[in-house]
Amino acid sequence: MKRFKKDDTYHIVYDSLADFFANTDPNKPPADMHSSNKSNHIEVKSSERQWRFGNDNTRENFYEKRTDPNKGRGICADAVKGVMADKSYKSLIKQAVTYRKRIKYEDHGFRLNVSKAISGEDRIFGVYKNSRKPTVKIAINICGSACVGQNDFINVAKTAIPTIYALETAGISTEVYYTAFASETHKDSADYTGTHVLIKSAQQRFSWATFAPVFCLGSYRESIFLSWIYSDMEVSRGLGIPMENYQLEHKDNYGYTSIIGLNAVGPASVVKEIFKKIKNKEC
């Protein structure tokens, strides 16, 4: 885990889910936690309300479910099938699996380029190479207000998971972060706060167990809250408010290709937008 401030944003970054949960254990506050955050820590640690854990009801159930692959598989099964059967997605996947080939010239090969040979160039044989497929960096932004309920968080997952699954099926590598972007959380020290948890590297294959925490309300209202509270910076009353889309866009999405949040459009539309960005980047 590392913390750093860049411009007006305070970033908290975890290398993995194991790193995230180990450093947000309610029974193990860090020695450098700001002294003014103790009351917030006590409130989170002692709370067993359903508001904090949603359908998991208790902290014990949350801990059991947050690594259960069945948690998300059942919820997203229909959504994944719907995306894969969507006509617009099928047309998009053709673009992905048939990335245009580029010609690279070598000093040996099978296809002679006459004009290069006449001009006296050394590399006169054309060899087709598939263009390198990019890595898409996706943020699942789970930050929401106090009135947002379990179903709203599940809808984020039902957009994010089929999007990631569809891209992976198309042969596009994805790097996925479980995130929360808020403003005024540490208002005396930074305008914005971003928590980033790497849950899938570009080299890792899709795994339902990896994404299980995304479906748990406790991952946000306990673990993310503690990531803020365990800071050496003082948290504000109420822990701030979610960042608006226009604020994220102004920050160029903090380097993410796509941020999927509470007001996300359907997964097929997200995939389409990502493909458009990939195409524009190549041109």
Q: What confidence tens digit (pLDDT) does each residue in 136-148 have?
A: 999 999 998 888 8
Q: Phi first, then psi: what are they for 5, rounded to 5°?
A: -110, 130
* 106/240 same-domain check: no
For the packed helices 150-169 and 267-282, what is the interaxial angle rounded to 10 degrees?
A: 50
Of 159, 162, 156, the residue nearest 80 (C-alpha): 162
**Residues 151, 48, 228, CA angle at the centre, nearest 5°?**
75
pLDDT for residue 95: 61
Count of structural domains within the chain: 2
Confidence of residue 168 (pLDDT cuts 50, 70, 90): confident
The residue out of 110, 130, 150 marking a domain boundary is 130
How crowded is residue 257: how many other Cβ atoms within 10 Å of its Cβ? 19
In this model, does residue 260 exceed pLDDT 70? yes
Residues 125 and 250 in one domain: no
> Whole-number mean pLDDT of the chain?
84
Beta pairing partners, 141: 179
Q: Are 177 and 204 in contact (CB under 8 A)?
A: no
Residues 275, 156 share a domain: yes
Count helices and strands (H / E) in the chain.
13, 10
> For the purposes of burial, counting CB atoms within 10 Å of the CB of 76, is it exposed (0-12), middle (13-18) or buried (19 or more)?
buried
167 pLDDT higher than 70: yes
Co-location of 85 and 192 in the same domain:
yes
Task: Using CB atoms within 10 Å of the CB of residue 35, give its burial: 0 to 12 exposed, 13 to 18 middle, 19+ buried.
Answer: exposed
* The pLDDT value given to residue 241: 95
For the ranges 68-77, 167-176, 209-218, the lowest mean pLDDT is seen at 68-77
User: In this structure, are 203 and 120 located in the same domain?
Assistant: no
Q: Which helix (H) or strand (E) holds 277?
A: helix 267-282
Chain mean position to CA 171: 18
Same domain, 157 and 201: yes
Q: Which helix (H) or strand (E) holds 9?
A: strand 9-14
- Is the separation of the CB atoms in 235 and 37 below 8 Å? yes
Q: What is the pLDDT of residues 123-137, one digit of tens each?
A: 655 655 555 567 899
166 and 276 together in one domain: yes
Last-in-domain residue among 130, 151, 179 = 130
Give the C-alpha separation, 215 to 212, whole Å: 6
Do the Cβ atoms of 42 and 60 come closer than 8 Å? no
Contacts of 30 (CB under 8 A, 6+ apart): 23, 230
CB 195 within 8 A of CB 19: no
Considering the domain architecture, whether residues 278 and 167 belong to the same structural domain is answered as yes
Confidence band (pLDDT; 50, 70, 90) for 281? low
Whether residue 86 has pLDDT greater than 70 = yes
Residues 126 and 158 in one domain: no
Say if residue 122 is in the same domain as residue 222: no
Structure tokens at 57: 């009801």
**Same domain, residue pair 156 and 74:** yes
More confident residue, 208 or 28: 28
Look up the domain containing 110 and give its range. Answer: 101-130
Is 35 in the same domain as 141? yes
